[in-house]
Structure 1
């Protein structure tokens, strides 16, 4: 009898005073077929389980494989806190702990000890208040892996990548350059093929201006930058639609024509995605040499400690990580 081992997923708890530890306890209670390894402080998880009123069996991780997991079992790669958490009140004394959990997860993936990383939310301000410059998960993993990355948010119905991420709106037009669009579209195209198994991915590219510039009457970025760049990439063989007006790009008839969307800025497409599937939206980092998925919400400090946090987004992120791991394995076996 050929019994398959369960994929080892590194689950980082994020901000100790946030909702992440409690969400991990809820995740452990599910019957998902995975070897969950919580990369955090063991006592933090014990306290989170008490707050959730959830029985959990914490097992020190020995790096080994397992073929089955009983709901409620959770392996732990213990990384001690700097200070005992107070739910709802992030403490900069735990900044090094948070960064150490991310480093362990990333290095473990690079070394083959984990099949993927799933991240709970962290509090960027708390890390910066500790005197450690920090932009976020995506930038941390990119630097750790020395990779060029792109942010994608995905639900079962829609995938959206971003040409620019957390920029003031006034800074966006200057950031939409030929080089930026080429970099982002090449990464997205490669990852849609490699991670999602799309042989010829179709990407819809949104215009920057209303009505995609309306022939230059509402802005020239489409004429001067976006259209020439798309034409050059089409000559390389990419299947690109657009630039499309953002106000009509998401109608059902158009969605059938593409597999993913490239938005020019953060709030151009994400409101559509989140309004449709907030609890099923997953944040992915494209371009990394490993799989990383994340919840698409913050630390919910107002809910931390209550045990009432909704684990739906973390469960969705975990399911997507498992799907990507399975697809990667199938592709590898097909090429072997």
Structure 2
């Protein structure tokens, strides 16, 4: 169980202790959502015959990247407190729609959390659009920079996206917390000021939302560079930028980014990474043809 998964102290106990009925409703709601998803729905083998329908608790915990004990306690309605980022990961794993996510946050006593542009689902055809863009890398993020979907070319140049815990699959978090051995972006020192300035521009619309405040607080705590840039209060409109990747199995890949709004999902952006030279295009093609080489060679 991590600090992101639960908080302790009198304040947390007082808040959760005031609503035992909500905890009972939360337990029943989570069980019902878990039981409607089959292992096949999430790409897992069906395994031996199951006593109950749907996923097991430990499978939900594994897919969401949270502790089994913590998720079990959450589903049992115990008086624990969860961060919005971890609840987001659980919601994605259980495939909750916008109304269901808002219901989850309210039952979990998350103050101020609503089904806003951060939690609406993506159009069902969007993954097909991403896949059709291959060999051009592309991803979809929300306003808070959570990575919601990507294609094979993006995974080839940024393989860690497939292995990181869902609750940490956020481009700001990965940019400022991944160690150099696992961060394929080589020009972060050049692009970081713009990343933070653009993020602050989006943050101004979500000042009172717990998920945003929690992300900024955690980034300031773990990344002195982010804390320094955040303290500058620089703000910038989103725009194109040059991003340079160096996956461990290939040479330098230079790209130019472009952001396109996804009108069906307010707050979501489709980001494309166009290679700027022939060598970069050839290296992406090689990584796609050799997926075993593109995969990360170790984990932390």
Fold conserved (TM > 0.5)? no
Give the alignment's TM-score, normalised by structure 1: 0.23
TM-score (norm 2): 0.26
User: Larger helix proportion, structure 1 or 2?
Assistant: 2
When Rg is computed on C-alpha atoms for both structures, the one with the higher figure is 1
Q: Compare the two structures and name the one with the higher strand fraction.
A: 1
- Which structure exhibits the higher relative contact order, with contacts defined as CA atoms closer than 8 Å and separated by 6 or more residues? 1
